[in-house]
Structure 1
Amino acid sequence: MQLLPFKNLSFSSVPNLTGVYLFKKGDKPLYIGKAISLRARIRSHLENAKLDPKEALIIKNCDKIGYQITDSEFKALLLESSLIQKYHPKYNSRWKDDKSYLYIKITSKADFPKVLSTRRENDRKSLYFGPFPSKKDVEDILGSIRKIFPFCQQKIISQRSCFYAKIGLCKPCPNQIISLSDKKTRIILKRQYRNNIKQVIRILQGDVLLVLQNSFKILKNLTKNQQYEQALLLRNKIQRFERLIYQTHFSADISTHFNRSSEALDNLLNTLKVYFRRLEKLHRIECYDISNLFQKDATASMIVFINGLPDKSQYKRFRIKSHTAKSDLEMLEEVFLRRFKQNWDKPDLIVVDGGTPQVLKVKTLLAKTTEEMAVLGGNRTWNPKLIGIAKQPDRIVISATDKLVTLRPSPHDLGFNLIRSLRDEAHRFARKYHLLLRTKRMML
């Protein structure tokens, strides 16, 4: 969770990305919300405070703003709900008593559990998730999950299949299961239905990666046992699920993150000049990131900014070739060794996504390359400056001449926000290639 002081808040320090935000007084959240664009939504709160008494109270009492970026609007919905339940914020419509709040109820103890939207009930035999601010939020979450892991919402079980069974949203349908005469088939389908409910519960608990990982294991077993028809259905389900949880909202025009790109670049240059005496310009900046989910289909990205703005024509993506590279550091080494061999324009600054370990690894490689490859692409020496951007909290790790220096600039620092934008874009580009490779592998 990133925190920004509310006083003299600069909107350029708030990302134009999807996530959850908190208005806080001290350590206590006053209001929690979600947004496709965090910057636009927070700005709207300040504008609405002129007309809305409730908004005015939030702004009056707030001393800091927190935000957490998510990969998709779906994840933002789940995170918002869990934070509201955890902190009980004062200005979230009196969440305890307000009837506008809804919960997702799962009758987990039932023979065939149902997934329902409901007001809060004191039913100890059921699981509750929420509260959710609107009926639309609940419908969006359940509608998205149901297309991947079908479930029943019919309150009374009968021997007549429901409408949703015909369109694949209640499959296997409990009504059809109980009407079967073959006991063995009933047991298999019942187990399948209850497994769907298990996955729904995990998703609502936020364990989306666990669900994805388990699905890949099942897919592997189905393929191994030559159950290709079932494998194909599961593969399609996994692809829908990945689109749901990794649907990024990234502006194609990164300059919206810092509409004063020239000023941001000058700010960053002045900051780094203190540590790199011979640094005269930041014409070309390269940023690297590794995407290595589940130790398979590992990829890396190199994104390029020219004069503070992205140049997508120079972006590069790498598929990790080494079968022995298990850690991000080993993969980073492979990527840089491959980069050094290319006759691409040399950077003035290299940024790596990571802290001290990553910076030290690349620093060692750069030193070794300077000795072994004194010339890169003709007579041009390879001697870029190097920094890393670490997380939680965001901070810059600078590879100075004889030591590493860690900086935690102000959230309003335009140069710092430029580095953040580089990191976020490299992460997006690496993940996009990672998902592409995984999809291709599953289709083989």
Structure 2
Amino acid sequence: MAFQPPEKVQEILKKLPKKSGVYLHKDKTGKIIYVGKAKNLRSRVRSYFANSVDSIKTEQLRKRITDIEIITTETELEALLLENTLIKKHKPRYNILLKDDKRYPYIKVHWADNFPKVTVTRRMVRDGSRYFGPYTYVGAVHQTLDMLRKIFPYLTCDRNINGKDERACLYYDIKLCNGPCIGAVDKAQYRAMIQELMDFLSGKSDDIIKNIQAKMAAAAEELDFEKAAEYRDQLLAIDKIVSKQRVISAANADQDVIAFAREQGDTCVQIFFIRYGKLIGREYFML
């Protein structure tokens, strides 16, 4: 017998847009039980209610869905970043059940190392590392890291770093590593850069942009146009990432924005949660 979702869900499925965004599955109490992202919301959300699903977990999940909320985004990468933020905020039951599943990648910063590497992993270990995720689309994770490496040229190799190597690897030559192995930067400088990378992944990008802009201006003032061009390329790479998270507040403030609309005696109130000038979630109530 074909699976039949509740009537309310059926109506939502008919109106889903063919846009990228984030979807929030809710149970009968209104609690968010799963957060996901999609390149095409209509196609992805409807797939949960197809006659056949790919796992028992999905079968159990869809039986509990009585409402669906969507947040559309301009790009899939923006959806990825918002999805991660909402999972951290709400800790939905079915995302938590999946968090140790080896299919789901994390960005791992090996913070316990003197010179931390940045890698992608599919499981969390209590080893002093910092983890960002889980994400549901590994391709977008690698895309993000490829751009971040142009801004923060971090290590990926397994060398024993002492700053005394005679030669750096190819990544140093193509400016994708800042060469701690040959002493081009010291431990404090390298860790400060990695801290900025972690801040960036946490959504704190504006101070980093201002810092790079100042460095670019100083390099140009000193007629070091090659260095100024490097900083320009870093800013372009940042723009490709930051522009995916649409700025909501020019004041870069933490604020909750309340909006309401009234029609035929019913009032809908929406609260938009803005952190670091960017939308990280919303809630709505009927009065």
Give how far 1:143 is off: 2.2
CA RMSD of aligned residues (A): 3.8
Query: d(CA) in 1 for partners of 2:17 and 2:213?
Result: 33
Aligned to 1:357: none
Q: Distance in 2 between matches of 1:199 and 1:221?
A: 20
Question: Partner of 1:121 in structure 2?
Answer: 125
Question: How far has the Cα of 1:186 moved from its partner?
Answer: 4.5
Give 2:226's aligned residue: 229
Q: 1:242 aligns with which of 235, 239, 244?
A: 239
Deviation at 1:151, TM superposition (A): 0.8
- 1:211 is aligned to 208
Length-normalised TM-score, structure 1: 0.48
Aligned to 2:180: 174
Partner of 1:346: none
Partners in 1 of 2:141 and 2:206 — Cα distance?
Answer: 21
Aligned residues: 252
> What fraction of aligned residue pairs are identical, expressed as a percent?
31
CA contact (8 A) 2:100 2:124 kept: no
- Quote the residue 1:21 is aligned against: 23
State the distance in 1 between where 2:250 and 2:24 align. 29
Q: 2:261–2:267: 8 Å Cα contact kept in structure 1?
A: yes
CA distance in 2, matches of 1:294, 1:148: 24
Aligned to 1:165: 172
Question: For the residues of structure 2 that align with 1:186 and 1:409, how far apart are their CA atoms?
Answer: 55
Alignment pair present for 1:78 and 2:75: no
Distance change >3 Å, CA 408–CA 212, structure 1 → 2? farther
Residue number in structure 2 paired with 1:418: none
Change in CA separation of 1:293 and 1:233 when aligned onto 2, cut-off 3 Å: farther
Q: Are the structure 2 counterparts of residues 198 and 407 from structure 1 closer, same or farther at C-alpha, using a change threshold of 3 Å?
A: farther
The CA distance in 1 between the partners of 2:88 and 2:78, in whole Å, is 16
Return the alpha-carbon distance in structure 1 between the equivalents of residues 76 and 137 of structure 2.
15
Q: Unpaired segments of 5 or more residues in structure 2?
A: 1-7, 271-287
Structure 1 stretches of at least 4 aligned residues deviating more than 6 Å after TM superposition: none
Query: Which segments of 5 or more consecutive residues in structure 1 lack a partner in the other structure?
Result: 178-184, 250-289, 296-390, 399-405, 412-444
SS at match of 1:9: helix
Question: What TM-score comes out, normalization by structure 2 length?
Answer: 0.70
Confirm or deny: 8 A CA contact 1:105 1:128 kept in the other structure: yes
Q: CA deviation at 1:62?
A: 1.3
Equivalent residue, structure 2, for 1:61: 64
Classify the secondary structure of the residue corresponding to 1:40. Answer: helix
Q: Distance in 2 between matches of 1:87 and 1:393?
A: 20
Contact 1:112 1:194 in 2 (8 A): yes
Structure 1 residue 220 displacement after superposition: 4.0
3-state SS of the aligned residue for 2:24?
strand
Q: Secondary structure in 1 aligned to 2:93?
A: coil
- Structure 1 residues 90, 151: closer, same or farther in 2, change over 3 A? same
Structure 2 CA distance, aligned partners of 1:236 and 1:141? Answer: 15
Aligned residue in 1 for 2:273: none
Residues 366-387 of structure 1 deviation map (CA, whole Å, 9 limit, x = unaligned): xxxxxxxxxxxxxxxxxxxxxx
Aligned mate of 2:47, from 25, 28, 44 = 44
Task: Indicate if the aligned counterparts of 2:179 and 2:185 stay in contact, CA closer than 8 A.
Answer: no
Q: CA deviation at 1:394?
A: 6.0
Larger displacement relative to structure 2 (154-163 or 20-29): 154-163
C-alpha distance in 2 between matches for 1:393 and 1:11: 28
Structure with higher Rg: it is: 1
